[in-house]
Amino acid sequence: MRYGLLFSVGSVALAFEAATQSAVDVTRPEQQQRERRAVVKEQEKRAEHASIIEFRGQQAFTEKELRSALKEEITTIEDFGLSPARADDLAFFLEVFYRKHGFTKVNVHYVIESGNRVRLDVTEGPRFMLRTIVFDGNAREPADKLFEYMVGPTRERYSQFEKKLPFVAADMEEGGHLVQRFYVAEGFLDVVVDPPRYKFQEQSSEVDVVVPIHEGRQYFFGSIVFTGQTIYGAEALRGQIVDLLQRPYTDARVEDIPRRLQAYFKARGYYDVKVDASGAPEEAVNGHVPVEITISPGPVYHFDGVTVNGLTRLHPSFVSKRFTRLRGKTYSPDVLDERFRTLMKTGQFNLLQIKPVPVDGHLLRLDISAEEAKSKEFGFWVGFDTYEGALAGVQVGDRDLFGYGRPVTASIEVSQRSYRGEILYQDPFFLDTDFVFTARAAALTFNYDGYTKFELGGRFELSRKITKNDEAALIFSVRRVKITDSEIKPEFLLGPTKYFVNTVGLTNTLDFRESPYVNPRGFLINNTLDVAPSALGSDIEYIRGTMRVGYYLPFGPKPLTPGVVADESTGTPFQRWFQQSSIAFGARVGVIHSLTTSGSDEATAIPIDERFFNGGASTVRSFGERDLGPHDNHGHPVGGEFFTVFNVEYTFPIFGELQGAIFTDAGNLLPTSEEVGLNNMRYAIGAGLRYKLPVGPIRLDYGVNPNPRPDEDFGAFHFSFGFAF
């Protein structure tokens, strides 16, 4: 049915296109013919320029690899035709490509055989490999650290696991510059790194590199003298830069001192503060450089009014009301930054600029310029999930409902197990407060192993950031659930099969992770508690709580790339590493407890669709989805009232955005909340692949069950999207 739907949509589009085309042919036949002739003429022109490029003598690389390396030059010839200058460029850049892979003595000769045919004769010569790098004169810095800087430009093109690297003279020269920058960043202001010297081995195609280094004296910060109006005292100001002063002296760190102190004063309302810092290495005593810092704080400023321009659809009050409560308060750049980030997260703006402008009486007017993003959106997706199978969906929405920045979206998703429809409405500033109100109405059918359900309901959420890392929410949910088909035997394991359930709950999330979607680092703690009382009209009554804890730690820096530059804030070379390895720890626990009795010794008061399930791509990965825990007489999972999950995963780079993973999982699922604990634990040991995307990884995992029981599989494959936990 999914394919039929896609085909019918495509058919409508094709029919519309055909109808439009017919109208054009009838109303504008001459224009249509002119356009076709222009296309044919352009194709003929490109065919005339198309040249035949022949490679001869290459052995180390395939013709496809060479053409890929010369893609830009070949495109230029195809667009503008062959000439001696462009043929010479082909030969030159082909030599560059070979030299980058260690073919130091390569020679490429071109021959233009006709107006559109060129032959490139390649004499590769031997491929030279880097044997040793010897640093002559490095008394203060270890050779292994300097080695990483020297090979960084070459390492960029090869895996970090590559033991033997090719010798590339241009890379060695660039590596020498990186070594010099490193020394300067460590306070060796007078360092001189001479050009590398090369020794080619006669008996082998290996090269030894010698890098002469004249380190000179290492400088440190000496006496720090503050002049002008310090206001907060020398010790308080020194505390803002103490980490800089504890490191070696560099000009870059001296330049960072004014930025640090200006930020300190501006955070306290001194908008017009001026700070100047100057060091005198020529006056250094035993390598300790005196520094003088001059401070002119100026007056304390306060927020005044707001002006907004650039808006066309969005009402200006959507922006101005975010700053109304600042009037009269002391100026703070952190507060402005927080308001800026909050507005940008709404998705209403492509560009937003907030410029404080001094006005009379030491007041700051906020002049805000905005460029609105497109409010209407349409999207579709296709994918595959190990449990749901193939899936596809479509979404339409308006981010700016009635011009007040309140988004509403409608989506439909179809998979091999389910049909879903949802309408979502959000007010990012509920009643002009910092609360976010979200309303969601949804209907779905889902075919689980053993039963099929239909669900119709709504969810209302009022959330607020308490601090930068702490968010809390109050949730009210209304749902009608019906088990439409079941193979669960005996039937009492289903529990109620048709019921209303209305819940009210609280959630709290402490998220200290950096970049949660790419390389998460730090702690995550999430708690939920909800209750379904009869006072809210629920047919069933229960209390449910869950807790999740995660810790994510990337580690292990990798070699520098050629694009290393000095970092302005620290003076150290900016290190653009390849992917880092990481280790992640996760733990989850949940319990649901009925507030009523079932009326029978055998029947359960908790419906099957309200219970917990375990096993799958994000829990214990040696089991299929929902397959860990109690089953009925036919092997269908029936869920439980208490679960735990523990995960440890180590990921490491393979190539580009591709990563490998090794993991171990543990968890259990117990049938009743009356007896909870860590008994009946099941385990997984496995490995997988990750491909990193900006919004999270695509994952392929296989988990092995180290102690399978007679009714359990040896392991399970999982293909999914996002982090495992």
The amino acid at residue 170 is A
Kindly tell me if the per-residue pLDDT of 385 is higher than 50: yes
Q: What percent of the chain has pLDDT over 70?
A: 88
304 contact partners, CB below 8 Å, separation of at least 6: 327, 359, 363, 364, 365, 366
Q: Which carries the bigger pLDDT value, residue 706 or residue 38?
A: 706
**Mean pLDDT (whole number) for 118-135:** 95
Q: What is the pLDDT of residue 554?
A: 86
| Confidence label for 34 from pLDDT (cuts 50, 70 and 90) | low
Tell me the pairing of strands 52-56 and 117-123: parallel
Residue 592: which of 613, 572, 575 has the closest Cα?
613
Residues 494, 496, 499, 502, CA torsion sign: negative
Give the DSSP letter string of 81-120. ---HHHHHHHHHHHHHHHHTTT-TT-EEEEEEEETTEEEE
238 contact partners, CB below 8 Å, separation of at least 6: 224, 245
Q: Report whether 319 contacts 354 (CB < 8 A).
A: no
CA distances, 332 to each of 271, 403, 434, 580, 636 (Å): 8, 30, 18, 36, 60
HSE-CB for 459 with a 13 A CA cutoff: 17
Which residues are 554's β-sheet partners? Answer: 582
| Confidence label for 542 from pLDDT (cuts 50, 70 and 90) | very high
Q: What is the pLDDT of residue 26?
A: 34
Q: Report whether 668 contacts 681 (CB < 8 A).
A: yes
Asked if the domains 50-123 and 220-296 are classified in one and the same CATH topology, the answer is yes
Kindly tell me if the per-residue pLDDT of 562 is higher than 90: no
Q: What is the pLDDT of residue 556?
A: 63
Q: What is the pLDDT of residue 115?
A: 76
- Alpha-carbon distance of 258 to 241, in angstroms, equals 10
Q: What is the pLDDT of residue 79?
A: 87
Tell me the pairing of strands 682-693 and 498-511: unpaired
- Alpha-carbon distance of 538 to 544, in angstroms, equals 14
Instruction: State the architecture of 129-214 in CATH terms.
Output: Roll (3.10)
- Residue located via tokens 């560099």: 250
- Alpha-carbon distance of 512 to 528, in angstroms, equals 18
- Alpha-carbon distance of 226 to 277, in angstroms, equals 9
Q: What is the pLDDT of residue 544?
A: 98
Kindly tell me if the per-residue pLDDT of 486 is higher than 70: yes
Kindly tell me if the per-residue pLDDT of 411 is higher than 70: yes
- Alpha-carbon distance of 129 to 208, in angstroms, equals 9
Residue 218 burial by CB count (10 A; 0-12/13-18/19+): exposed, middle or buried? Answer: middle
Q: Which carries the bigger pLDDT value, residue 89 or residue 723?
A: 89
Q: Which helix (H) or strand (E) holds 339?
A: helix 333-345
- Alpha-carbon distance of 301 to 145, in angstroms, equals 48
What tens digit of pLDDT does each residue of 644-675 get? 999 999 999 998 889 999 999 999 999 999 98
Q: What is the CATH number of domain 488-721?
A: 2.40.160.50
Which residues are 592's β-sheet partners? Answer: 544
- Alpha-carbon distance of 302 to 363, in angstroms, equals 5
Kindly tell me if the per-residue pLDDT of 500 is higher than 90: yes
Under DSSP, is residue 655 helix (H, G, I), strand (E, B) or coil?
A: strand
Kindly tell me if the per-residue pLDDT of 568 is higher than 60: no
What tens digit of pLDDT does each residue of 281-301 get? 999 999 999 999 999 999 999
- Output the six-digit token pair for 602: 């055998």
| Confidence label for 418 from pLDDT (cuts 50, 70 and 90) | very high
Kindly tell me if the per-residue pLDDT of 155 is higher than 80: yes
- Output the six-digit token pair for 99: 């030299």
CA geometry: angle 201, 60, 176, nearest 5 deg = 50
Kindly tell me if the per-residue pLDDT of 573 is higher than 60: no
Please state the domain extents for the chain: 2-48, 50-123, 129-214, 220-296, 302-372, 488-721
Q: Report whether 647 contacts 550 (CB < 8 A).
A: no
Mean of the per-residue pLDDT values of the chain? 89
Helices 143-155 and 169-185: angle between axes, nearest 10 degrees = 130
Kindly tell me if the per-residue pLDDT of 578 is higher than 90: no
643 contact partners, CB below 8 Å, separation of at least 6: 588, 589, 590, 612, 613, 614, 629, 667, 668, 669, 670
Q: What is the pLDDT of residue 204?
A: 87
Under DSSP, is residue 287 helix (H, G, I), strand (E, B) or coil?
A: coil
Residue 170: which of 107, 96, 109, 106 has the closest Cα?
96
HSE-CB for 712 with a 13 A CA cutoff: 25
Q: What is the pLDDT of residue 656?
A: 81
Q: Phi and psi dihedrals of 186, rounded to 5?
A: -95, 15
Pick the CATH number of 302-372 from 3.40.50.1100, 3.10.20.310, 3.50.50.60, 3.40.50.1370: 3.10.20.310
Helices 2-27 and 29-49: angle between axes, nearest 10 degrees = 110
- Output the six-digit token pair for 553: 């730690």
Kindly tell me if the per-residue pLDDT of 193 is higher than 90: yes
Q: How far does the chain reach from its first CA to its final CA, in angstroms?
A: 33
| Confidence label for 202 from pLDDT (cuts 50, 70 and 90) | confident
**Mean pLDDT (whole number) for 534-542:** 94
Q: What is the pLDDT of residue 696?
A: 83
CA distances, 114 to each of 71, 83, 117, 532 (Å): 21, 10, 5, 84
What tens digit of pLDDT does each residue of 423-449 get? 999 999 999 999 999 999 999 999 999
Q: What is the pLDDT of residue 564?
A: 39
Q: Which helix (H) or strand (E) holds 345?
A: helix 333-345
Q: Kindly report the number of other CB atoms within 10 A of residue 372's CB atom.
A: 18
Q: Phi and psi dihedrals of 262, rounded to 5?
A: -65, -40
- Output the six-digit token pair for 268: 């306290």
Q: Report whether 127 contacts 63 (CB < 8 A).
A: no
**Mean pLDDT (whole number) for 149-165:** 85
- Alpha-carbon distance of 245 to 570, in angstroms, equals 11
Q: What is the pLDDT of residue 694?
A: 80
What count of residues does the chain have? 725
Kindly tell me if the per-residue pLDDT of 24 is higher than 70: no
**Mean pLDDT (whole number) for 139-149:** 94
What tens digit of pLDDT does each residue of 309-358 get? 999 999 999 999 999 999 999 999 999 999 999 999 999 999 999 999 99
| Confidence label for 392 from pLDDT (cuts 50, 70 and 90) | very high
- Alpha-carbon distance of 184 to 194, in angstroms, equals 14
Q: What is the CATH number of domain 220-296?
A: 3.10.20.310
| Structural class in CATH, domain 50-123 | alpha beta
What tens digit of pLDDT does each residue of 620-645 get? 999 999 999 999 999 999 999 999 99
Q: Which carries the bigger pLDDT value, residue 531 or residue 694?
A: 531
- Output the six-digit token pair for 532: 């379904």
Q: What is the pLDDT of residue 203?
A: 83
**Mean pLDDT (whole number) for 235-262:** 96
